[in-house]
Structure 1
Amino acid sequence: MRTHNLFISHSWGHSDGYEKLVALLEKRTYFRFKNYSVPRNDPIHNANDDDALRRAIRTKMLPCGVVLVLAGVYATYSKWIDAEIGLAKYGFRNPKPIVAIEPWGSEKTSRLVKQSADRVVGWNTESVVGAIRELD
């Protein structure tokens, strides 16, 4: 069984969705992944400047086959989620495909995230895993 290398773009100010997504993926049988996201217990936001932070995020994203982005409306206003989308699309010789995940029960989602995505899926295990398998 293949292991999918994933970068999950998220805001620690809205970490509940990130943690639920990771739990959702961990519970899925016959699906393995390695999470290259920036962990809360080892943040890189204390980098000396924005360029250093951008390089650190790029390094985390480098081995990943797919970038997952939670498409909550807050993502539209997040400087770093925007930077992560830009890195995925333009920071590598081969762009990293982006899966936008619409939060469960959300009435408003980020248009910016959805427009940047290769796939937009709902908050559903099979939809998320299917998009990852299709794009990776």
Structure 2
Amino acid sequence: MPNLYDYRLFISHAWKYGQDYNRLINLLNNAKYFSYYNYSAPAEKPLFPAGTPMTNSQIRNLISNKIRPAQVTLVLSGMYGAYSDWMKYEVDESIRMGKPIIGIYPWGQTYAPTYITQNATVMVRWQTDSIVSAIRSLV
């Protein structure tokens, strides 16, 4: 059997709500016939060590460097996304770089922050097939 294509993903999320991020990673890891490389920065692999003094400009550069090699940006669209300046930056930077954005409705919900629904290339439900199909159609 030939090797699977590795989709290059950046997952925008809020560390404070890491359970949603972990649930998505688990979903993607268990998707059949799907392989990916994760360019996001999970809590266990932060962009910089805790306590390191960083300016907002330096943080923006680090985030941009994570988005740049990705083919698509996935945005976990919990209501916390409406209040996260860094998630907004990730959406804006993905748009600036021409990356398609997949907004993922929160588990069991039909609403997401307006900023995300207005800027996403496509919005999908929290289902493996919906997410994987959206990735494949946009890459």
Q: Classify the TM-score, shorter chain.
A: over 0.9
Instruction: Supply the distance in 2 between the matched residues of 1:57 and 1:8 (Cα, whole angstroms).
Output: 11
Higher Cα Rg: structure 1 or 2? 2
Instruction: Supply the distance in 2 between the matched residues of 1:98 and 1:65 (Cα, whole angstroms).
Output: 9
1:114 paired residue among 114, 117, 129: 117
2:40 match: secondary structure:
coil
Do the aligned partners of residues 34 and 104 (structure 1) sit closer, same or farther apart at CA in structure 2, a change above 3 Å counting?
A: same
1:33 match: secondary structure:
strand
Moved over 2 A (4+): 44-47
Which has the larger displacement, 102-111 or 30-39?
102-111
Instruction: Supply the distance in 2 between the matched residues of 1:30 and 1:41 (Cα, whole angstroms).
Output: 27
Q: CA deviation at 1:108?
A: 3.8
1:42 match: secondary structure:
coil
Instruction: Supply the distance in 2 between the matched residues of 1:75 and 1:39 (Cα, whole angstroms).
Output: 16
2:37 paired residue among 34, 37, 42: 34
RMSD: 1.3
Confirm whether residue 63 of structure 1 aligns to residue 66 of structure 2: no
* Aligned-partner residue type, residue 35 of structure 2: R
Q: TM-score with structure 2 length normalisation?
A: 0.91
Asked if the contact 1:101/1:120 (under 8 Å) is kept, the reply is yes
Identify the residue that residue 77 of structure 1 maps to in structure 2.
Answer: 83
Asked if the contact 2:15/2:42 (under 8 Å) is kept, the reply is no
Instruction: Supply the distance in 2 between the matched residues of 1:114 and 1:86 (Cα, whole angstroms).
Output: 13
Q: TM-score with structure 1 length normalisation?
A: 0.93
Structure 1: gaps of 5 or more residues: none
Asked if the contact 1:47/1:53 (under 8 Å) is kept, the reply is no
Instruction: Supply the distance in 1 between the matched residues of 2:40 and 2:8 (Cα, whole angstroms).
Output: 10
Deviations 1:22-65 (A, max 9, x none): 00000011000011101212212646111100100111111100
1:28 match: secondary structure:
coil
Aligned pairs, how many?
133
